[in-house]
Chains A and B, each alone.
Chain A
């Protein structure tokens, strides 16, 4: 197991947003975390990277407890996150955004190689490398966000709704890239609302409901499960 969460709780003031969430991500796998809005998906990944302090600190990465690691040191451990709304640096150029992703790396040649890798994956970013990030289209921004997160050469990539607000064609592209990244060896925890697309990609899925894991299982089984539909759309 590359990533393990054991009964993690999280609070926003007095509201319990995560009520004992446990999940496991095998190395080199794609695992999907699903659920409707407000279920706690984003809270879960923010807790993993330390942007949100969890009460129970049992979060393990490569068998090492990371619940107390300060958030700015998480990327150095090999975990990278693409936040829900991309969270780019809008006034900085594309290449500057990418280089920020490699902030924790000090070897210039390494950074250059990483840049080449990203430009290879996303040629459009190479074309627009000097442009202001805020001026890019939604799909391009998403690619930039993903590219930035890859610059640190993470072992584990957390993707929070990478297809939010994108046209169907771009959605396909993004999912294809996710698959390619996984092929290259990166472990992926994919958060999505769009359950079917995500389950097609992932080998295992967790469905969050109101801060708890309501369902989990291998993708093929989940896809056929009626309970999934009920979880999303309510009892018929």
Chain B
């Protein structure tokens, strides 16, 4: 039982990070129908930048965090302008491939600049675990979960309550109608890519202390996507729930099956759920036009 709750907790930790990355995926996908295969690399970039500011430049953690996220957001917007907007009328397949290309370039560029050296993010919190109700936690995992949930909530508030956020949602739901209401759709796309990239970068920064930082760590990002599909892409809350669920399932599988098979379990779960419910666990039938 203790083991189970342990697994669930670490699953939630991972799941909360997946939720951040997955949220970025979903925001981008709902507006542009593009699977952003560079999302994981953006996450890695966030971790690397934070490492650089915190470790090499010895900036305070919060400053490193914010700077990394903002830089990645700007980078995402720049990518939209340079690489994706020229392809706005191309078939979706082309755009997907473009994100694949960009992802590969980011990963390779980091490898060129930093080499394949592995790095560890210095610890920022005391490492002694403590117990709550029989479940062992570390301050790190707790703060990660808390921060991730905080960020997700902050984003949801932004998305649902602010004028700009509603403009983004409207653009995702109906581009022409949004234009008629006065929304500058092109600028909104830049914003959407910026937000999606920023969310991924934030996840990367939060993830950094948990794992080894390498140029290849971006592959974790795809889990965020899987989790979002699992929960149902058409609804943001569903996607978030799916990500948390995926974290738990993966960890359970990792413990009870084999740790190296986590990725396989993730994909297998995806295929299983999709064959039963093509719109995800909480998704709705597409095509409900008003």
Contact = CB atoms under 8 A, between A and B. Distances in A.
A and B touch in the complex (CB under 8 A): yes
A116 to B, nearest CB: 19
A228 B180 CA distance: 32
B179 A89 contact: no
Contact of A103 (B167, B173, B176, B290): B167
A91 B237 CA distance: 13
B183 A89 contact: no
Nearest to B236: A91
Contacts of B183: 72, 100, 103
Given A89-B170, A103-B163, A103-B167, A75 B180 contact: yes
Contact of A90 (B180, B185, B235, B289): B289
Given A133-B290, A136-B290, A71 B180 contact: yes
Contacts of B185: 72
B153 to A, nearest CB: 19
Interface string A81-103: 10101111111100010011101
A72 B176 contact: no
Contact of A100 (B170, B184, B290): B170
B173 A51 contact: no
A92 B176 contact: no
Given A85-B289, A99-B166, A103-B167, A92 B173 contact: yes
A90 B173 CA distance: 7
B180 A89 contact: no
Contact of B288 (A73, A101, A134): A134
B192 to A, nearest CB: 15
B182 interface: yes
Contacts of A74: 180
Contact of A89 (B182, B184, B235, B290): B290
Given A75-B182, A83-B176, A92 B169 contact: yes
A183 B281 CA distance: 51
A153 interface: no
A115 interface: no
Given A89-B170, A99-B166, A83 B182 contact: no
A190 interface: no
Nearest to A49: B180
Given A72-B184, A88-B174, 14 more contacts: A72-B179, A80-B180, A87-B176, A89-B170, A89-B173, A89-B290, A90-B289, A92-B166, A92-B169, A100-B183, A103-B183, A104-B182, A133-B290, A134-B289
9 contacts: A51-B176, A51-B180, A75-B182, A90-B288, A90-B289, A92-B169, A100-B183, A103-B163, A136-B290
